[in-house]
Every structure is written in C-alpha cells, then in structure tokens.
Amino acid sequence: MGIYTVLPDGLSEVDVIIAGGGTTGCVVAARLATADPGLCILVVEGGSNNDMPTIAVPALCPANLVPSSTANIFYKTNKEKQLGDRELLVASGGVLGGGSSTNLMMYSRAQRSDFDSWNTPGWSADDMLPYLRKVCTSSVNGCKRLR
C-alpha cells in the first residue's frame, strides 16, 4: 500500500493504526511489518509527504527552520522569567518522517544522568547502553571512545 491523502476505497479495517508518521511512528510501522508481513498497518501523518528539496538536499535544511516552513511544526513555549519573559519557538518535525526528515543528522548520546533521572526500571543508562552502542556501530568512530 502506498501514500494516500484520503483513505483508499475498500479500506474499512486495519490491524494497527499509528498516529503520527514521524521518526518513531515510521520505525514502529517498519518493525511491525517486518515481524508480520500480513499485518495491515495504517500510519496517519498530519503533515505532507517529505518529497521536498529542503529535505532531499541536506544543504538546504536551514530553510525548514524558517517559521513559515510547512516541514516543521513550531510550538511556542510559555513566557519564561529566566528568558526575560520571552516565548521561544521550538521546532518539531511536521511532515512524513517527522524530525528525521528535517533534523541536522548529528549524532549525540545523552548523558548517563539523563537516562538515570527517569528512574524507570529497564531504562537506566546501563540498560540503554547496548542499544546506544548498536546505533553507532556502523560509521561513527567517536562512539567507540564513549562508555
């Protein structure tokens, strides 16, 4: 099945609906489809397809940060006393692929204390480390130095 802007004729029932075709949504859809190719999976993305030059050509990606861009959603924060009562714009992916369509393609691993502060069994820095290593085994040599 492909990309549709309206539900295709005859589609009245699916096995899984994923809300948001961003980074996580697409990964989850792909993993589910690989695990069970017989599943009918509907990914509902609020933004457009990501076939735009500012996404296909990495050098043009700063254009996605212009507030009129439709590639990102710009959330406005509350006024912050610590910022002189200013509101900030926080960009978030707003097309198919979400942030992975518009991000700057830099890899950085969070600090141990960030994971540990979740204080959630199974999600500590030690629990996460094997998966974080898996992410960077292919090409990022710098990862090998980190513990």
- Can you give the binding site for ligand FAD, defined by CB under 6 A? 19-24, 44-47, 65, 72, 91-94, 98-100, 102-106
Q: Which is nearer to ligand FAD, 93 or 125 (CB)?
A: 93
Cα first-last separation, the chain? 42
Tokens of 97: 């692929």
Furthest-apart CA atoms within the chain: distance in Å: 55
Residues in Cβ contact with 45 at an 8 Å cutoff, skipping those fewer than 6 apart: 20, 21, 22, 25, 95, 96
Name the minimum Å distance from CB 93 to ligand FAD.
4
Work out how close the CB of 106 gets to ligand FAD at its nearest, in angstroms, rounded to a whole number.
4
85: left (phi over 0), alpha (psi -120 to 50) or beta: left
| Shorter beta-carbon distance to ligand FAD: residue 81 or 105 | 105
Closest contact distance (angstroms) between CB of 110 and ligand FAD is 10
Q: Under a CB-based contact definition with an 8 Å cutoff, are residues 101 and 71 in contact?
A: yes
Least CB distance to ligand FAD at residue 101 (A): 8
Nearer Cβ to ligand FAD, position 91 or 129?
A: 91
Question: Of 47 and 128, which has the nearer Cβ to ligand FAD?
Answer: 47
Return the residue nearest ligand FAD (CB atom).
Answer: 22
> Which residue type is seen at 125?
A
Q: What is the DSSP letter of 4?
A: -
Query: Minimum CB separation from ligand FAD for residue 10, in Å?
Result: 23
Q: Which residue number, 54 or 125, has a Cβ lying nearer to ligand FAD?
A: 54
Type of residue at 65? L
